Chain A
Amino acid sequence: MDFTFSPEHVALRRMIREFCEEELRPRAKEVDRAGRVDPEVMRMMGSLGFFGVPFAQVYGGMGAGETGYCILMEELNRVCPSTATIVGAHIGIGAMSLYLDGSPELKRKYLPDLCAGKKIAAFALTEPNAGSDAAGIQLRATLEGDSYFLDGQKMWITNGPIADVVMTLAITDPALGARGGATVFAVEREWKGYSIGKPEKKMGLHGSPTSLLNFDEVRVPKENVVGQVGLGFVTFMKTLDVGRTSLGAATVGGGQAALEASLRWVKARSQFGRPIAHMQSIQFMLADMAAEIEALRSLVYRTAWLVDNGKPFTKEAGMCKLLGSEIASRCIDRALQIHGALGFSRDFPLERGWRDARIGEIFEGTNEIQRIVIASELLQEVGVRIRP
């Protein structure tokens, strides 16, 4: 077993870290306050290839695989979770569904611009009545001639307000329901009937724009079906699986940020006559953080290896997301506690990280759903099939 990263991945991480320190860190506070990421940062990330990290170079991607993508998410989330979320939703679930199941023509049509960051992607699954119960979606796609007409609503769509191309799951055959009768469509923002709701006001991730999307008889040409008609649910579930691994990577970055901030603070802050680094309670909190992050890091990069080597990874991906989100929350909470009252102040970045982290246990499949997914895989291995 070789646990070293390849030289190209080491070099990639170094460049991304430098970028994050120079360009993202100074802006992170303002991103949270103003609720947006600087367009200049988006442009720079585009020119460096951030928006297409895992995709093959033949489509304009960076060709760095799932491992490279995990490295990107880890480094971005370490410094600015809002930025990481925009990029993550764009690559990990938006463009990814196109990349996994789209026809070569459809991929050639959209991927180069998506990889360059010239166009932003989103993934539209959730609806007001279909959250964890994704199979309960109702958005309809009716075939007429050589077009489909999409009608309905999608909710809580990350990148909704800024996406140029939205991979949308719609019911094409109501009799078969979502599992056998749904199809993924690549929908362009400019098309008639498509409108964007006002951005959601959230507790954290203020710089990551989220909104409702309305489809009012939006005409989508047949060519824009992603994958097979009727098999959209499978495409989307596959996409979510891949996305979960990189979410796990993001949480490694989040945990790491919490640990680094804590190490700096315990050296600088003194009470009872000495740096608080000398308090055993503090030492144990630091140790617990480091141990959890290390375990998570191994799980995440091993799962990335499974993805890059074409092996099954559904169970492991679910574990990455489940454990990662909980570990990150625990680590940032410990870090806040270590900083005392200053952790509660908006003049310090701890509370921002704490607010940003909370969604980790909810989006892209709540942790309850992750547990169902993992249990389902485990029980399948012993011959028991379960339903949520």
Chain B
Amino acid sequence: MNILVILRAVQDPNGFTVNRRAQKVFVNREQFMINPSDKNALEAALSLATESDTVVAVALGDAPAEDALRQARAMGAGRALLVRDATLKNADATVVAAALRHLVNHLDETKLVLLGAEVLDADLAQVGPRLAAVLDWPFIEAAHQLEIHGSTVAAIAPQPDGFHKLEADLPAVVSVAPDSNQPRYAPGAKIINVYKDKHAVETHTPADLQLTEADLTPTTEVRGESFPPEREPGKRLEGSPDELARQLAEVIRKI
């Protein structure tokens, strides 16, 4: 059985300086890394995999995505699939979910799809739920302490009222909470061998996966980026409980 792990290559924030006054982000050093919670997802997959499972790392994009996949192979993933195409550059969560759905269908039995719960770019956290929706699989968000029991997956996950133990039937999509485990280091010999091996990463195009034009059309459009507005200084309300309630009500009415 396959355990799929979705990896995103993101820019290393240590290479940025954010200048709020100039409303600019200066990139001092452009370097890419595996999105940290995707690494936690990969570690979870490697820990959960039994003798009969294969951990398959997948990523969409170019050289940084390919490098992320090689790292995953060096860490122990049995296969790595790269979906590469210029049209994927403007992919939004819907397109990514569509591509991943085709990938899942392209592969043999996949029992679990893991990905990180937070991404160091737009961090919309939509890929997981959208993928689950198009696959019609259950989705668990921000999981800690993943366990597989026969045909179910169990996890501790935050709910509006605290942490709960959740269980879902396999196959399922689970996003893994950041820092929920300690990703292993890749042994040096594996790094050397994976990076020397031209075939360590399998490359597909959207056409190979039978993605249609509709699949590849984003449903959202990025119109611009701006800094969040400065927080306005707060206002301190004073008075008796009744007066406070009255003042608060006024504030809420104005919003």
Contact = CB atoms under 8 A, between A and B. Distances in A.
A touches B in complex, CB < 8 A = yes
B192 A8 contact: yes
The listed residue with most A CB atoms (<10 A of its CB), out of B67, B189, B194, is B189
B185 A19 contact: yes
Contacts of B48: none
Interface stretch (A48-56, A123-131, A176-184, A301-309): A48-56
A57 interface: yes
B189 A11 contact: no
A63 interface: yes
Contact of B187 (A6, A49, A68): A49
A4 to B, nearest CB: 13
A12 B185 contact: no
Please report whether the interface of chain A is mostly helix, strand, loop or mixed according to DSSP.
helix
Contact of B189 (A6, A7, A19, A62): A62
Interface residues of A, number: 21
A61 B187 CA distance: 11
A6 B191 contact: no
B231 interface: no
B8 interface: no
B196 A8 contact: yes
B136 to A, nearest CB: 38
A22 to B, nearest CB: 9
A15 B195 contact: no
A63 B188 CA distance: 9
A63 B189 contact: yes
B175 interface: no
A48 B185 contact: yes
B187 A64 contact: no
A272 B191 CA distance: 50
A294 interface: no
Contacts of B194: 8, 11
Nearest to A60: B189
B189 A15 contact: no
A47 B188 CA distance: 9
Nearest to B33: A14
Nearest to A115: B189
Contacts of A61: 189
A18 B189 contact: no
Contact of A57 (B67, B71, B74, B189): B189
A79 to B, nearest CB: 15
Contacts of A63: 189, 192-193
Contacts of A62: 188-189, 192
A16 B185 CA distance: 9
B185 A49 contact: no
A17 to B, nearest CB: 11
Contact of B185 (A6, A15, A53, A64): A15
A6 B188 contact: no
A47 to B, nearest CB: 7
Given A11-B70, A11-B71, A11-B74, A49 B188 contact: yes
B192 A12 contact: yes
B47 to A, nearest CB: 16
A48 B192 contact: no
Contact of A7 (B185, B187, B188, B195): B195
A19 B187 CA distance: 11
B186 interface: yes
Top 4 closest A-B pairs, CB basis? A8-B195, A49-B188, A62-B188, A7-B195
26 contacts: A7-B67, A8-B191, A8-B192, A11-B67, A11-B191, A11-B195, A12-B191, A12-B192, A15-B74, A15-B188, A16-B188, A44-B185, A47-B187, A48-B185, A48-B186, A48-B188, A49-B188, A50-B188, A53-B188, A57-B192, A62-B189, A63-B189, A64-B188, A64-B192, A68-B188, A68-B192
Given A11-B67, A68-B192, 16 more contacts: A8-B191, A8-B194, A15-B74, A15-B185, A15-B188, A16-B188, A44-B185, A48-B186, A48-B187, A49-B189, A53-B188, A57-B192, A57-B193, A62-B189, A64-B188, A64-B192
